[in-house]
Amino acid sequence: MKQLPSLFTALLLCLSTTLGFARDIDADKLRRAYEQESNPRKKILLLDTLTEHLEMFGFTDSSSLQSYQVLIRLGRQVGDSVLVAKGWFRVASHHSLNKQIILSNQACYKALNAMLAAKEHQEYALISDIYTVLGFNYTVLKNEKKALQFHHLALDFINKTQDFRRKADILTNIRVFYREQHKEDSLKYYARLSLDAYRNSARQSIDTMYEVGGIAWALLDLDSTQQAIQYFELGLQQAKKRGEQHSIKTFYKYLGNAYYKINHYAKAKDYYLRSEQINDLTKSVMVNNNLSKIFWKEGDYKNAFKHYQQAKEIEEKSFSLQVAQQIFDAELHYQEALQKQELLQSQNETLQARQFLFFMLGLLIMSLITIGLFWRLYSQKRESEIKLAELNKEITAQNEEILTQTEQLSETNEALTSINENLDQLVRDRTAVVESQKDQIEQFAFMNAHQIRGPVATMLGLINMIESENMLAQHKDIEGYLKTTANKMDMMIHQVQDRLDHKEWEKTVPSEQILKT
Protein backbone atom coordinates (compact mmCIF):
# COMPACT_ATOMS: atom_id res chain seq x y z
CA MET A 1 0.00 0.00 0.00
CA LYS A 2 2.88 2.36 0.75
CA GLN A 3 4.17 2.18 -2.85
CA LEU A 4 0.82 3.04 -4.47
CA PRO A 5 0.94 6.82 -3.90
CA SER A 6 4.20 7.18 -5.83
CA LEU A 7 2.88 4.96 -8.63
CA PHE A 8 -0.39 6.86 -8.84
CA THR A 9 1.45 10.19 -8.82
CA ALA A 10 3.91 9.07 -11.47
CA LEU A 11 1.11 7.97 -13.82
CA LEU A 12 -0.80 11.20 -13.28
CA LEU A 13 2.23 13.40 -13.85
CA CYS A 14 3.32 11.46 -16.93
CA LEU A 15 -0.14 11.88 -18.42
CA SER A 16 -0.25 15.57 -17.59
CA THR A 17 3.25 16.12 -19.00
CA THR A 18 2.30 14.32 -22.20
CA LEU A 19 -0.66 16.61 -22.70
CA GLY A 20 1.49 19.64 -21.91
CA PHE A 21 -0.48 21.09 -19.02
CA ALA A 22 1.30 19.77 -15.91
CA ARG A 23 1.68 23.29 -14.54
CA ASP A 24 -2.03 24.02 -15.05
CA ILE A 25 -3.46 21.10 -13.10
CA ASP A 26 -6.15 22.58 -10.95
CA ALA A 27 -4.98 22.22 -7.34
CA ASP A 28 -8.43 23.22 -6.14
CA LYS A 29 -9.97 20.25 -7.94
CA LEU A 30 -7.46 17.92 -6.31
CA ARG A 31 -8.28 19.44 -2.92
CA ARG A 32 -12.02 19.00 -3.50
CA ALA A 33 -11.50 15.40 -4.62
CA TYR A 34 -9.45 14.78 -1.50
CA GLU A 35 -12.07 16.35 0.79
CA GLN A 36 -14.95 14.44 -0.81
CA GLU A 37 -13.19 11.06 -0.76
CA SER A 38 -14.29 8.80 2.12
CA ASN A 39 -12.02 5.82 1.48
CA PRO A 40 -8.96 6.34 3.72
CA ARG A 41 -6.61 4.64 1.28
CA LYS A 42 -7.74 6.71 -1.71
CA LYS A 43 -7.78 9.82 0.48
CA ILE A 44 -4.11 9.34 1.29
CA LEU A 45 -3.31 8.73 -2.40
CA LEU A 46 -5.07 11.93 -3.44
CA LEU A 47 -3.36 13.96 -0.71
CA ASP A 48 0.03 12.56 -1.68
CA THR A 49 -0.64 13.47 -5.32
CA LEU A 50 -1.86 16.95 -4.37
CA THR A 51 1.12 17.75 -2.14
CA GLU A 52 3.59 16.41 -4.70
CA HIS A 53 1.97 18.62 -7.35
CA LEU A 54 2.13 21.66 -5.05
CA GLU A 55 5.77 21.02 -4.16
CA MET A 56 6.80 20.31 -7.77
CA PHE A 57 5.39 23.58 -9.10
CA GLY A 58 6.57 25.67 -6.18
CA PHE A 59 3.32 26.69 -4.52
CA THR A 60 4.22 28.77 -1.48
CA ASP A 61 0.77 29.67 -0.11
CA SER A 62 -0.42 28.75 3.38
CA SER A 63 -3.03 26.28 2.11
CA SER A 64 -0.23 24.23 0.53
CA LEU A 65 1.61 24.19 3.85
CA GLN A 66 -1.57 22.99 5.56
CA SER A 67 -1.89 20.17 3.03
CA TYR A 68 1.66 19.06 3.80
CA GLN A 69 0.92 19.09 7.53
CA VAL A 70 -2.23 17.02 6.99
CA LEU A 71 -0.12 14.49 5.04
CA ILE A 72 2.26 14.25 8.02
CA ARG A 73 -0.63 13.71 10.41
CA LEU A 74 -2.22 11.00 8.25
CA GLY A 75 1.13 9.28 7.81
CA ARG A 76 1.54 9.12 11.57
CA GLN A 77 -2.00 7.78 12.00
CA VAL A 78 -1.46 4.90 9.57
CA GLY A 79 2.13 4.31 10.75
CA ASP A 80 3.66 5.12 7.34
CA SER A 81 7.09 6.66 8.02
CA VAL A 82 7.72 7.25 4.31
CA LEU A 83 4.53 9.30 4.05
CA VAL A 84 5.59 11.33 7.10
CA ALA A 85 9.01 11.90 5.53
CA LYS A 86 7.37 13.09 2.29
CA GLY A 87 5.23 15.54 4.25
CA TRP A 88 8.22 16.99 6.10
CA PHE A 89 10.24 17.19 2.88
CA ARG A 90 7.46 19.20 1.21
CA VAL A 91 7.24 21.45 4.25
CA ALA A 92 11.01 21.97 3.95
CA SER A 93 10.68 22.83 0.24
CA HIS A 94 7.85 25.26 1.03
CA HIS A 95 9.92 27.08 3.67
CA SER A 96 13.00 27.05 1.45
CA LEU A 97 11.10 28.71 -1.41
CA ASN A 98 9.85 31.33 1.07
CA LYS A 99 13.45 31.88 2.27
CA GLN A 100 12.57 30.57 5.73
CA ILE A 101 15.84 28.65 5.89
CA ILE A 102 15.79 27.80 9.59
CA LEU A 103 12.30 26.30 9.39
CA SER A 104 13.28 24.50 6.20
CA ASN A 105 16.33 22.90 7.82
CA GLN A 106 14.27 21.80 10.81
CA ALA A 107 11.75 20.14 8.48
CA CYS A 108 14.59 18.42 6.56
CA TYR A 109 16.02 16.91 9.73
CA LYS A 110 12.56 15.70 10.75
CA ALA A 111 12.16 14.12 7.31
CA LEU A 112 15.51 12.32 7.69
CA ASN A 113 14.49 11.07 11.14
CA ALA A 114 11.27 9.73 9.65
CA MET A 115 13.27 7.94 6.97
CA LEU A 116 15.44 6.35 9.65
CA ALA A 117 12.27 4.75 11.01
CA ALA A 118 11.54 3.32 7.54
CA LYS A 119 14.81 1.48 6.91
CA GLU A 120 13.11 -1.31 5.00
CA HIS A 121 11.94 1.11 2.28
CA GLN A 122 14.48 2.01 -0.41
CA GLU A 123 13.32 5.60 -0.95
CA TYR A 124 16.66 6.77 -2.31
CA ALA A 125 15.17 9.54 -4.45
CA LEU A 126 13.32 11.04 -1.47
CA ILE A 127 16.44 10.97 0.71
CA SER A 128 18.39 12.58 -2.13
CA ASP A 129 15.77 15.34 -2.41
CA ILE A 130 16.01 16.06 1.32
CA TYR A 131 19.79 16.43 1.12
CA THR A 132 19.38 18.62 -1.98
CA VAL A 133 17.14 21.05 -0.09
CA LEU A 134 19.66 21.15 2.76
CA GLY A 135 22.42 21.86 0.25
CA PHE A 136 20.38 24.65 -1.33
CA ASN A 137 19.63 26.17 2.08
CA TYR A 138 23.28 26.24 3.10
CA THR A 139 24.16 27.70 -0.30
CA VAL A 140 21.78 30.59 0.44
CA LEU A 141 23.48 30.98 3.83
CA LYS A 142 26.92 31.14 2.13
CA ASN A 143 28.07 28.00 3.90
CA GLU A 144 29.51 26.43 0.75
CA LYS A 145 31.42 23.67 2.53
CA LYS A 146 28.33 22.29 4.23
CA ALA A 147 26.25 22.81 1.10
CA LEU A 148 28.73 20.78 -0.94
CA GLN A 149 28.68 18.06 1.69
CA PHE A 150 24.89 17.72 1.43
CA HIS A 151 24.96 17.82 -2.38
CA HIS A 152 27.45 14.94 -2.44
CA LEU A 153 25.21 12.98 -0.07
CA ALA A 154 22.30 13.64 -2.41
CA LEU A 155 24.42 12.44 -5.35
CA ASP A 156 25.36 9.22 -3.51
CA PHE A 157 21.71 8.30 -2.99
CA ILE A 158 20.46 9.31 -6.44
CA ASN A 159 23.19 7.20 -8.07
CA LYS A 160 21.33 4.18 -6.69
CA THR A 161 18.40 5.02 -9.00
CA GLN A 162 17.87 5.67 -12.73
CA ASP A 163 16.54 9.20 -12.16
CA PHE A 164 18.87 11.14 -14.46
CA ARG A 165 17.01 14.45 -14.08
CA ARG A 166 17.57 14.54 -10.33
CA LYS A 167 21.16 13.42 -10.82
CA ALA A 168 21.76 16.23 -13.33
CA ASP A 169 20.27 18.80 -10.93
CA ILE A 170 22.51 17.66 -8.10
CA LEU A 171 25.57 17.77 -10.35
CA THR A 172 24.58 21.30 -11.34
CA ASN A 173 24.42 22.33 -7.68
CA ILE A 174 27.92 20.91 -7.16
CA ARG A 175 29.15 22.82 -10.21
CA VAL A 176 27.93 26.07 -8.65
CA PHE A 177 30.29 25.54 -5.73
CA TYR A 178 33.32 24.81 -7.92
CA ARG A 179 32.44 27.75 -10.20
CA GLU A 180 32.47 30.13 -7.24
CA GLN A 181 35.72 28.60 -5.98
CA HIS A 182 37.24 28.96 -9.48
CA LYS A 183 38.24 25.30 -9.54
CA GLU A 184 38.15 24.84 -13.27
CA ASP A 185 39.18 21.17 -13.40
CA SER A 186 36.48 20.08 -10.95
CA LEU A 187 33.96 22.37 -12.65
CA LYS A 188 34.59 20.84 -16.07
CA TYR A 189 34.56 17.31 -14.64
CA TYR A 190 31.12 17.74 -13.09
CA ALA A 191 29.93 19.71 -16.13
CA ARG A 192 30.66 16.67 -18.32
CA LEU A 193 28.79 14.44 -15.86
CA SER A 194 25.88 16.90 -15.89
CA LEU A 195 25.84 16.97 -19.67
CA ASP A 196 25.58 13.16 -19.84
CA ALA A 197 22.89 13.10 -17.16
CA TYR A 198 20.76 15.77 -18.89
CA ARG A 199 21.06 13.98 -22.21
CA ASN A 200 19.99 10.68 -20.62
CA SER A 201 17.11 12.49 -18.95
CA ALA A 202 16.10 14.02 -22.28
CA ARG A 203 15.86 10.54 -23.79
CA GLN A 204 13.41 9.57 -21.02
CA SER A 205 11.29 12.77 -21.25
CA ILE A 206 8.67 13.95 -23.70
CA ASP A 207 8.92 17.59 -22.71
CA THR A 208 12.65 18.41 -22.83
CA MET A 209 12.62 22.14 -21.97
CA TYR A 210 14.16 21.49 -18.57
CA GLU A 211 16.88 19.28 -20.00
CA VAL A 212 17.64 21.78 -22.75
CA GLY A 213 18.38 24.45 -20.14
CA GLY A 214 20.59 22.01 -18.21
CA ILE A 215 22.55 21.01 -21.31
CA ALA A 216 23.09 24.68 -22.16
CA TRP A 217 24.44 25.42 -18.67
CA ALA A 218 26.81 22.43 -18.83
CA LEU A 219 28.10 23.59 -22.22
CA LEU A 220 28.59 27.07 -20.81
CA ASP A 221 30.79 25.64 -18.01
CA LEU A 222 32.72 23.66 -20.65
CA ASP A 223 33.41 26.96 -22.47
CA SER A 224 31.21 25.95 -25.43
CA THR A 225 29.37 29.27 -25.17
CA GLN A 226 27.96 29.42 -28.72
CA GLN A 227 26.43 25.94 -28.38
CA ALA A 228 25.11 26.95 -24.96
CA ILE A 229 23.42 30.05 -26.44
CA GLN A 230 21.75 27.87 -29.08
CA TYR A 231 20.35 25.55 -26.39
CA PHE A 232 19.22 28.54 -24.25
CA GLU A 233 17.38 30.00 -27.24
CA LEU A 234 15.78 26.58 -27.90
CA GLY A 235 14.66 26.42 -24.29
CA LEU A 236 13.32 29.99 -24.46
CA GLN A 237 11.23 29.04 -27.51
CA GLN A 238 9.78 26.02 -25.67
CA ALA A 239 8.99 28.19 -22.63
CA LYS A 240 7.24 30.76 -24.80
CA LYS A 241 5.17 28.02 -26.45
CA ARG A 242 4.09 26.81 -23.01
CA GLY A 243 3.46 30.36 -21.85
CA GLU A 244 5.41 29.93 -18.61
CA GLN A 245 6.57 33.39 -17.57
CA HIS A 246 8.85 32.05 -14.84
CA SER A 247 10.70 29.81 -17.32
CA ILE A 248 10.85 32.63 -19.88
CA LYS A 249 12.47 34.99 -17.37
CA THR A 250 14.88 32.25 -16.31
CA PHE A 251 16.05 31.69 -19.87
CA TYR A 252 16.42 35.47 -20.29
CA LYS A 253 18.80 35.42 -17.34
CA TYR A 254 20.70 32.42 -18.72
CA LEU A 255 21.10 34.14 -22.10
CA GLY A 256 22.26 37.29 -20.31
CA ASN A 257 24.96 35.24 -18.52
CA ALA A 258 26.04 33.62 -21.78
CA TYR A 259 26.36 36.91 -23.63
CA TYR A 260 28.07 38.52 -20.65
CA LYS A 261 30.64 35.74 -20.70
CA ILE A 262 31.56 36.49 -24.33
CA ASN A 263 31.55 40.27 -23.59
CA HIS A 264 28.43 40.94 -25.66
CA TYR A 265 27.16 43.43 -23.07
CA ALA A 266 24.30 44.94 -25.08
CA LYS A 267 22.48 41.66 -25.46
CA ALA A 268 23.45 40.67 -21.94
CA LYS A 269 21.90 43.87 -20.55
CA ASP A 270 18.77 43.34 -22.57
CA TYR A 271 18.24 39.83 -21.30
CA TYR A 272 19.13 40.79 -17.72
CA LEU A 273 16.58 43.59 -17.67
CA ARG A 274 13.91 41.19 -18.84
CA SER A 275 14.76 38.73 -16.05
CA GLU A 276 15.21 41.32 -13.30
CA GLN A 277 11.94 40.46 -11.59
CA ILE A 278 12.89 36.88 -10.78
CA ASN A 279 11.98 36.17 -7.15
CA ASP A 280 15.25 34.58 -6.15
CA LEU A 281 17.83 36.11 -3.80
CA THR A 282 21.01 34.54 -5.18
CA LYS A 283 20.01 34.98 -8.82
CA SER A 284 19.00 38.65 -8.23
CA VAL A 285 22.39 39.39 -6.66
CA MET A 286 24.18 38.00 -9.68
CA VAL A 287 21.90 39.78 -12.15
CA ASN A 288 22.25 43.12 -10.37
CA ASN A 289 26.01 42.78 -10.11
CA ASN A 290 26.35 42.00 -13.80
CA LEU A 291 23.98 44.86 -14.75
CA SER A 292 25.96 47.22 -12.54
CA LYS A 293 29.17 46.24 -14.32
CA ILE A 294 27.54 46.64 -17.75
CA PHE A 295 26.13 50.09 -16.93
CA TRP A 296 29.50 51.10 -15.48
CA LYS A 297 31.25 50.15 -18.71
CA GLU A 298 28.63 52.07 -20.70
CA GLY A 299 29.15 55.11 -18.46
CA ASP A 300 25.66 54.98 -16.99
CA TYR A 301 26.90 55.37 -13.43
CA LYS A 302 23.42 56.09 -12.01
CA ASN A 303 21.98 52.74 -13.07
CA ALA A 304 25.26 51.06 -12.21
CA PHE A 305 25.07 52.42 -8.66
CA LYS A 306 21.34 51.54 -8.46
CA HIS A 307 21.93 47.88 -9.33
CA TYR A 308 24.99 47.81 -7.11
CA GLN A 309 22.85 49.02 -4.16
CA GLN A 310 20.16 46.43 -4.94
CA ALA A 311 22.80 43.69 -4.94
CA LYS A 312 24.17 44.87 -1.58
CA GLU A 313 20.69 45.04 -0.01
CA ILE A 314 20.00 41.49 -1.11
CA GLU A 315 23.40 40.39 0.22
CA GLU A 316 22.63 42.04 3.58
CA LYS A 317 19.34 40.16 3.77
CA SER A 318 21.18 36.99 2.90
CA PHE A 319 23.80 37.81 5.54
CA SER A 320 21.10 38.29 8.19
CA LEU A 321 19.69 34.93 7.21
CA GLN A 322 23.17 33.49 7.46
CA VAL A 323 23.65 34.92 10.96
CA ALA A 324 20.25 33.63 12.00
CA GLN A 325 21.10 30.23 10.59
CA GLN A 326 24.43 30.24 12.45
CA ILE A 327 22.60 31.10 15.65
CA PHE A 328 20.12 28.34 14.90
CA ASP A 329 22.94 25.91 14.12
CA ALA A 330 24.70 26.86 17.34
CA GLU A 331 21.50 26.41 19.31
CA LEU A 332 20.81 23.17 17.47
CA HIS A 333 24.32 21.91 18.24
CA TYR A 334 23.89 23.01 21.85
CA GLN A 335 20.57 21.17 22.08
CA GLU A 336 22.13 18.14 20.44
CA ALA A 337 25.04 18.34 22.85
CA LEU A 338 22.62 18.57 25.77
CA GLN A 339 20.63 15.65 24.41
CA LYS A 340 23.83 13.68 23.90
CA GLN A 341 24.97 14.60 27.40
CA GLU A 342 21.61 13.60 28.85
CA LEU A 343 21.65 10.44 26.77
CA LEU A 344 25.21 9.73 27.85
CA GLN A 345 24.31 10.42 31.45
CA SER A 346 21.27 8.18 31.12
CA GLN A 347 23.40 5.52 29.49
CA ASN A 348 25.99 5.89 32.25
CA GLU A 349 23.29 5.61 34.91
CA THR A 350 21.84 2.62 33.11
CA LEU A 351 25.32 1.16 32.77
CA GLN A 352 26.04 1.79 36.43
CA ALA A 353 22.70 0.28 37.39
CA ARG A 354 23.45 -2.70 35.19
CA GLN A 355 26.95 -2.97 36.61
CA PHE A 356 25.56 -2.76 40.15
CA LEU A 357 22.91 -5.31 39.24
CA PHE A 358 25.50 -7.57 37.67
CA PHE A 359 27.76 -7.03 40.71
CA MET A 360 24.94 -7.91 43.10
CA LEU A 361 23.93 -10.81 40.91
CA GLY A 362 27.52 -11.99 40.77
CA LEU A 363 27.86 -11.49 44.51
CA LEU A 364 24.65 -13.46 45.05
CA ILE A 365 25.87 -16.21 42.74
CA MET A 366 29.25 -16.26 44.49
CA SER A 367 27.49 -16.33 47.85
CA LEU A 368 25.30 -19.21 46.73
CA ILE A 369 28.32 -21.01 45.33
CA THR A 370 30.26 -20.35 48.57
CA ILE A 371 27.31 -21.51 50.69
CA GLY A 372 26.99 -24.55 48.45
CA LEU A 373 30.69 -25.29 48.80
CA PHE A 374 30.61 -24.78 52.55
CA TRP A 375 27.50 -26.95 52.83
CA ARG A 376 29.17 -29.59 50.72
CA LEU A 377 32.32 -29.40 52.81
CA TYR A 378 30.24 -29.51 55.99
CA SER A 379 28.29 -32.50 54.65
CA GLN A 380 31.50 -34.20 53.63
CA LYS A 381 33.02 -33.37 57.03
CA ARG A 382 29.90 -34.68 58.77
CA GLU A 383 29.97 -37.87 56.73
CA SER A 384 33.69 -38.17 57.37
CA GLU A 385 33.14 -37.71 61.12
CA ILE A 386 30.41 -40.36 61.09
CA LYS A 387 32.61 -42.71 59.08
CA LEU A 388 35.55 -41.87 61.34
CA ALA A 389 33.47 -42.62 64.44
CA GLU A 390 32.42 -45.94 62.93
CA LEU A 391 36.02 -46.63 61.98
CA ASN A 392 37.10 -45.72 65.52
CA LYS A 393 34.55 -48.14 66.90
CA GLU A 394 35.78 -50.84 64.55
CA ILE A 395 39.38 -49.99 65.38
CA THR A 396 38.58 -50.05 69.12
CA ALA A 397 36.87 -53.42 68.72
CA GLN A 398 39.78 -54.64 66.65
CA ASN A 399 42.21 -53.26 69.22
CA GLU A 400 40.35 -55.06 71.96
CA GLU A 401 40.35 -58.22 69.91
CA ILE A 402 44.03 -57.70 69.17
CA LEU A 403 44.71 -57.15 72.87
CA THR A 404 42.83 -60.36 73.65
CA GLN A 405 44.73 -62.19 70.94
CA THR A 406 47.94 -60.57 72.21
CA GLU A 407 47.23 -61.85 75.70
CA GLN A 408 46.45 -65.25 74.28
CA LEU A 409 49.62 -65.12 72.23
CA SER A 410 51.56 -64.10 75.33
CA GLU A 411 50.15 -67.03 77.20
CA THR A 412 50.86 -69.26 74.24
CA ASN A 413 54.37 -67.86 74.00
CA GLU A 414 54.89 -68.52 77.68
CA ALA A 415 53.52 -72.04 77.23
CA LEU A 416 55.72 -72.50 74.16
CA THR A 417 58.70 -71.18 76.11
CA SER A 418 57.91 -73.59 78.94
CA ILE A 419 57.35 -76.40 76.47
CA ASN A 420 60.61 -75.55 74.74
CA GLU A 421 62.40 -75.63 78.07
CA ASN A 422 60.72 -78.97 79.03
CA LEU A 423 61.22 -80.24 75.52
CA ASP A 424 64.99 -80.03 75.83
CA GLN A 425 64.85 -81.98 79.07
CA LEU A 426 62.43 -84.46 77.58
CA VAL A 427 64.64 -84.88 74.55
CA ARG A 428 67.59 -85.59 76.81
CA ASP A 429 65.50 -87.96 78.94
CA ARG A 430 64.10 -89.67 75.90
CA THR A 431 67.50 -89.95 74.38
CA ALA A 432 68.74 -91.66 77.56
CA VAL A 433 65.72 -93.99 77.49
CA VAL A 434 66.28 -94.77 73.82
CA GLU A 435 69.92 -95.55 74.49
CA SER A 436 68.89 -97.74 77.45
CA GLN A 437 66.32 -99.52 75.30
CA LYS A 438 68.92 -99.91 72.62
CA ASP A 439 71.15 -101.68 75.12
CA GLN A 440 68.28 -103.86 76.25
CA ILE A 441 67.42 -104.70 72.66
CA GLU A 442 71.03 -105.58 72.01
CA GLN A 443 71.00 -107.76 75.12
CA PHE A 444 67.72 -109.35 74.02
CA ALA A 445 69.20 -109.93 70.57
CA PHE A 446 72.18 -111.57 72.21
CA MET A 447 69.94 -113.65 74.46
CA ASN A 448 67.81 -114.56 71.48
CA ALA A 449 70.84 -115.56 69.48
CA HIS A 450 72.66 -117.51 72.20
CA GLN A 451 70.69 -118.16 75.33
CA ILE A 452 67.22 -118.86 73.83
CA ARG A 453 68.42 -120.29 70.58
CA GLY A 454 70.57 -122.89 72.32
CA PRO A 455 67.78 -124.58 74.36
CA VAL A 456 65.44 -124.47 71.40
CA ALA A 457 68.01 -126.13 69.19
CA THR A 458 68.63 -128.79 71.85
CA MET A 459 64.93 -129.50 72.15
CA LEU A 460 64.57 -129.73 68.40
CA GLY A 461 67.45 -132.10 68.21
CA LEU A 462 66.09 -134.34 70.94
CA ILE A 463 62.66 -134.40 69.38
CA ASN A 464 64.14 -135.38 66.09
CA MET A 465 66.01 -138.24 67.78
CA ILE A 466 62.90 -139.48 69.51
CA GLU A 467 60.91 -139.45 66.30
CA SER A 468 63.55 -141.16 64.32
CA GLU A 469 64.50 -143.86 66.70
CA ASN A 470 61.55 -144.13 69.04
CA MET A 471 63.95 -143.88 71.82
CA LEU A 472 61.62 -142.42 74.40
CA ALA A 473 60.90 -145.68 76.08
CA GLN A 474 64.45 -146.87 75.94
CA HIS A 475 66.16 -143.80 77.08
CA LYS A 476 64.52 -142.30 80.13
CA ASP A 477 67.30 -139.80 80.43
CA ILE A 478 66.17 -138.05 77.30
CA GLU A 479 63.00 -137.01 79.06
CA GLY A 480 65.08 -135.38 81.72
CA TYR A 481 67.02 -133.52 79.17
CA LEU A 482 63.88 -132.31 77.55
CA LYS A 483 62.42 -131.15 80.86
CA THR A 484 65.63 -129.44 81.84
CA THR A 485 65.84 -127.77 78.43
CA ALA A 486 62.16 -126.69 78.63
CA ASN A 487 62.74 -125.20 82.06
CA LYS A 488 65.74 -123.28 80.79
CA MET A 489 63.76 -122.06 77.92
CA ASP A 490 60.90 -121.02 80.17
CA MET A 491 63.33 -119.27 82.46
CA MET A 492 64.86 -117.42 79.53
CA ILE A 493 61.44 -116.40 78.31
CA HIS A 494 60.64 -115.02 81.72
CA GLN A 495 63.93 -113.15 81.80
CA VAL A 496 63.14 -111.62 78.43
CA GLN A 497 59.70 -110.73 79.66
CA ASP A 498 61.13 -109.26 82.79
CA ARG A 499 63.49 -107.16 80.78
CA LEU A 500 60.71 -106.04 78.54
CA ASP A 501 58.66 -105.12 81.56
CA HIS A 502 61.63 -103.36 83.19
CA LYS A 503 61.00 -100.06 84.95
CA GLU A 504 63.27 -98.17 82.47
CA TRP A 505 60.58 -98.57 79.76
CA GLU A 506 58.19 -96.72 81.92
CA LYS A 507 60.56 -93.75 82.12
CA THR A 508 59.69 -92.83 78.50
CA VAL A 509 57.27 -89.80 78.49
CA PRO A 510 54.30 -90.36 76.14
CA SER A 511 53.55 -87.65 73.49
CA GLU A 512 50.03 -87.11 74.81
CA GLN A 513 51.56 -86.03 78.15
CA ILE A 514 53.82 -83.55 76.32
CA LEU A 515 50.90 -82.07 74.36
CA LYS A 516 48.82 -81.83 77.52
CA THR A 517 51.63 -80.01 79.22
Q: Cα–Cα distance between 254 and 269 in angstroms, integer?
A: 12
pLDDT one-digit tens code per residue, 185-243: 988 999 899 889 988 988 888 778 888 888 888 888 888 889 888 888 888 888 888 87
CA 452 to chain centre: 128
DSSP per-residue letters across 5-22: HHHHHHHHHHHHHHHT-G
* Structural domain spans, the chain: 24-120
pLDDT one-digit tens code per residue, 468-484: 666 555 566 776 777 78
The pLDDT value given to residue 6: 34
The pLDDT value given to residue 150: 92
CA distances from 338 to 111, 330, 349 (A): 22, 12, 16
Instruction: Answer yes or no: are the C-beta atoms of 108 and 133 closer than 8 Å.
Output: yes
∠492-493-494 over CA atoms, to 5°? 90
The pLDDT value given to residue 516: 46
The pLDDT value given to residue 43: 66
The pLDDT value given to residue 502: 62
- Would you call 177 helix, strand, or coil by DSSP? helix
Q: Cα–Cα distance between 217 and 451 in angstroms, integer?
A: 178
**Low-confidence residues in the chain, pLDDT < 70:** 1-28, 30-32, 34-44, 47, 50-61, 119-121, 276-284, 286, 315-337, 445, 447-453, 467-476, 479, 497, 499-517
Determine the residue type at 321: L
Tell me which residue of 286, 329, 368 sits closest to 141, measured CA to CA: 329
